[in-house]
Structure 1
């Protein structure tokens, strides 16, 4: 349960970035990655959603992999990336 709350918090932070939702003239919101309509249930839970659940999960996995592969060392240089 706690992991779900943390994941939702991370998604909200991600969604609050500079990315703007892709909305048509009828108010339908589309995923920025795959261009499918984002379900109303997802928008109800996460009003700032700009990606569908599968694309958001894939993006989260990629971000997590990048964090675990490398970072910044004491000299301020990136390490382990690539």
Structure 2
């Protein structure tokens, strides 16, 4: 028997869902007295905010792909050879 994944069509963006989750967790933490559960909610709120920032950075148009290490070393050798002959 093949299991099928339940697919959901989100009406809000990932950023919006993360922001709502962070706000909900902060509000829940504000209702609790100081303690482990409150700290857990605040930590999860910070994690949602961090995830939002990382997602924003990853989806930004200015993000460049990493340069392969081999290309960097070849470029250094070429510069050394040019500097010796100049």
Q: TM-score, normalised by structure 1?
A: 0.28
Structure 1 or 2: more strand by fraction: 1
Q: TM-score, normalised by structure 2?
A: 0.27
Higher relative contact order (Cα pairs below 8 Å, separated by 6+ residues): 2
Structure 1 or 2: more helix by fraction: 2
